[in-house]
Structure 1
Amino acid sequence: MAASPPVFRFAPSPNGRLHLGHALSALANERLAARFGGRLLLRIEDIDPGRCRPDYEQGVRDDLAWLGIAFDGAVRRQSEHLDDYRAALERLAGQGLIYPCFCSRQEVKAAIAAREGDGRLWPRDPDGAPLYPGTCRTIAPDEAAARIAAGAPHVLRLAMGRALDAASTMPGGPLGWRNFDDAGGLAAVAADPARWGDAVLARREVPTSYHLSVVVDDALQGVSHVVRGRDLEAATDIHVLLQRLLGLPTPLYRFHPLLTDEAGRKLAKSRGSRSLAELRAEGATPAAIRARLGFT
């Protein structure tokens, strides 16, 4: 039987218009899918109802169509598949690997400040955020259930220590993934999920997180090759751990360089980086954008 063609995906969030960094990622996926004879899927990652808007989603589609990128199959919109993420959470809960955390951001900040009172720096995750100190990790299940029933705001965290212990007993060997190159060569990379601490997997208002939804989506869509920016390389630690815990396959990965502004900061919607729509209004053509980004 012939092997199935590889599956790539581009997965933007509709919380603003696409900029050149997004175009780079989309075009990298397009080129590699063509090189390996694969399919390219479009996923709309719209789990944040406060920031994602239908007009932004239409803008994303318009920008991609303008660039001339064609996608295969139906578009997966995350907001239409929340039950898939709830099911994954229930599976983790059944293994005793998640717990509710009732701490506010201010309470976490105060707890860390107290621990740093002796002059020692509290450990940070790869993004520079202080690790959660585990305040709620030992709350009795009955007490936690009562607080949730009373409407207490909370998030669901991965109990990292227990998760790593559980993963170590499962088939697959040491946690890690493989990066692929242009010729299909593979390089093994060891994962270190512990450096992220007890990561948030869901919030009361949104029953998922980026980490959880991305691994569930990749598995359900049959994604075999993930191509994304280097800013997400460290987060792959958590993704391969969740894949192991949920019995999901680990795709091959590739992380492309990031585009930066004049100050050396990566392009971002939150910083007002110039959008493709603005460049188009100024007369830029798809061919010019492709050439500018090295995709002639």
Structure 2
Amino acid sequence: MLSNPSLTLPLRKGGKAEENYVGRFAPSPTGPLHFGSLITAVASYCDARAHQGQWLVRIEDTDIPRIYPGSEEHILRSIDAFQFEPDAEIIFQKDRLDIYEYVIEHLHQQGWVYACQCTRKMLGSNHIYAGTCRDLNLPFEQQAIRLKVSDQTICFTDRLQGTHCSNLQYDLGDFVLKRRDGIINYQLAVVVDDYLQGMTHVVRGADLLDNTERQIWLGSLLGYPQLEYMHLPLAMNAQGQKLSKQNLAQALDLKRAPELLQQAIRALHQPEVDLDIPENMLKQAIAQWNTDFIPHTTELHGSYL
């Protein structure tokens, strides 16, 4: 447990952090990177560089039982093979668990979290949590930890998807920050690390669009500044499913990095780049980068390898 981890947004050279673009690529090592991951990496990298900003890499590995053997190594080798250049040391969330525990304790002291004994079987198919345990004052040991939400509508304007709104109380209910088995939930770790790393812009897949209001809510309770979001359309397979590890998407063949990079740039509807070493292709893509060309949809259909 950290005695006093810094939760103050650090200043960066040239002014406040929010005045400079800081973006990131944050894959989860539940399997090797696939073409959908590459699209996100390319878009986040080009958008950051086109804004003369910083681009960081974070491995989101708090769900330790789901880490697929060798996937973290494949992610790191992919970063090298496609010649992306992170501006800081890559961090691993499993090394930062004490920070997340500190934040939970802070929220506990503020009265925003509580222990929940409800299991998935008890909740059934109802995805809106009814607040069953909110006033039971259960001990925190070996229980899930939920964050309270309020009856208010949260809206944000996505750079591709437009205005998106949600009333967390009616659309979701109080949500889990830490599971009964001790695993830190994605919602907590991503918010804390985006803040502590000074993020200003998030470029990620549209499958995470519905998580954004939860993250804005949690960030507001912690006093964090709101970020700018761009949720990319998802590459779909021939069966109409998003490319994902669960749908057995093919791992990136790193020997074909230039060809796959060219395909990713095309999938984002960006101007053509010459087939070359990845470093030169990325420089050309950055010089031509235009988010207006990216389809303002949630799905990309085509032949993706």
Q: TM-score, normalized by length of structure 2? A: 0.76
Q: Name the counterpart of 1:208.
A: 184
Per the TM alignment, residue 67 of structure 1 is displaced from its structure 2 partner at its CA by 1.6
TM-superposed deviation, 1:2: 4.0
What is the CA–CA distance in structure 2 between the aligned matches of 1:192 and 1:292, rounded to whole Å?
38
Which of 31, 42, 48 does residue 57 from structure 2 map onto?
42
Q: In the TM superposition, what is the alpha-carbon distance from 1:178 to its structure 2 partner?
A: 4.0
Distance (whole Å) between structure 1 residues aligned to residue 165 and residue 123 of structure 2: 30
Are 1:191 and 1:236, in contact at CA under 8 Å, matched by a contact in 2? no
Residues 231 and 53 (structure 1 numbering): CA distance in 2 closer, same or farther, change over 3 Å?
Answer: closer
- Equivalents in 2 of 1:206, 1:276: separation in Å? 32
- Specify which of 233, 258, 261 is matched with residue 234 of structure 2: 258
Q: Provide the aligned length of Structure 1 versus Structure 2.
A: 251
For residues 207 and 249 of structure 1, the distance between their equivalents in structure 2, rounded to whole angstroms, comes to 26
- Indicate how the Cα distance of structure 1 residues 19 and 187 shifts in structure 2: closer, same or farther if over 3 A, else same: closer
User: Is 1:288 aligned to residue 288 of structure 2?
Assistant: no
1:243 matched to 2:232:
no
Structure 2 unaligned runs (5+)? 1-12, 267-272, 274-305
Whole-Å separation in 2 of the counterparts to 1:215 and 1:64: 23
Q: What's the offset of the Cα at 1:192?
A: 3.0
Tell me the secondary structure at the aligned position of residue 249 of structure 1: coil
Query: More helix per residue: 1 or 2?
Result: 1
The equivalent residue for 1:192 is: 167
CA contact (8 A) 1:47 1:206 kept: no
8 Å CA contact 2:205–2:234 kept in 1: the answer is yes
In the TM superposition, what whole-angstrom CA distance separates every residue of 1:67-91 from its partner, at most 9, and x where no partner exists?
2211111111111111211121112
Residue 18 in 1 paired to residue 33 in 2?
Answer: yes
Q: Which amino acid aligns with 2:260?
A: I
RMSD: 2.3
Equivalent position SS for 2:246:
helix
SS at match of 2:104: helix
Distance in 2 of aligned mates of 1:209 and 1:61 = 23
Q: Structure 1: which 5+ residue stretches go unaligned?
A: 113-121, 123-129, 169-173
1:235 alignment partner, SS class: helix
Q: Distance in 2 between matches of 1:216 and 1:13?
A: 16
The one-letter code of the counterpart of 1:104 is T
Q: CA deviation at 1:233?
A: 1.0
| 1:205 to partner: Cα distance | 3.2
1:288 maps to a residue whose letter is: E
Q: Find the counterpart in structure 2 of residue 67 from structure 1.
A: 82
Instruction: For residue 187 of structure 1, report the CA deviation from its aligned partner.
Output: 6.6
TM-score (norm 1): 0.78
- Once the two structures are overlaid, the 10-residue window that deviates more, 97-106 or 219-228, is 97-106
Q: CA deviation at 1:263?
A: 1.0
Q: Distance in 2 between matches of 1:290 and 1:12?
A: 17
Matched with 1:177 is 156
The letter for the 1-side match of 2:203 is V
Q: How far apart are the structure 2 equivalents of 1:196 and 1:57?
A: 32
Match in the other structure for 2:66 = 51
How much has 1:208 moved relative to structure 2? Answer: 2.2
**Structure 1 counterpart of 2:129:** 132
Separation in 2, partners of 1:270, 1:189: 27
Q: CA deviation at 1:45?
A: 0.5
Distance in 2 separating the partners of 1:137 and 1:56: 38
Q: What residue number does 1:155 align with?
A: 144
Alignment partners' CA distance in 1, 2:14 and 2:123? 53
- Paired AA for residue 192 in structure 1: N
Aligned equivalent of 1:116: none
Deviations 1:119-160 (A, max 9, x none): xxx5xxxxxxx2223322231x2xx12xx55xxx42111222
The CA deviation string for residues 168-215 of structure 1, in whole angstroms up to 9 with x for no partner, is 7xxxxx74334347xxxx976544323121111112433521001101
Identity %: 33
Q: Contact (CA 8 Å) 1:41, 1:72: kept in 2 or not?
A: yes
Instruction: Give the deviation of 1:7 after TM superposition.
Output: 0.5
Aligned equivalent of 1:89: 104
In the alignment, what sits opposite 1:127?
none
Q: Which secondary structure state, in structure 2, belongs to the residue aligned with residue 100 of structure 1?
A: strand
Q: Kindly tell me: are residues 207 and 268 of structure 1, through their superposed partners in 2, closer, same or farther at Cα, counting changes over 3 Å? A: closer
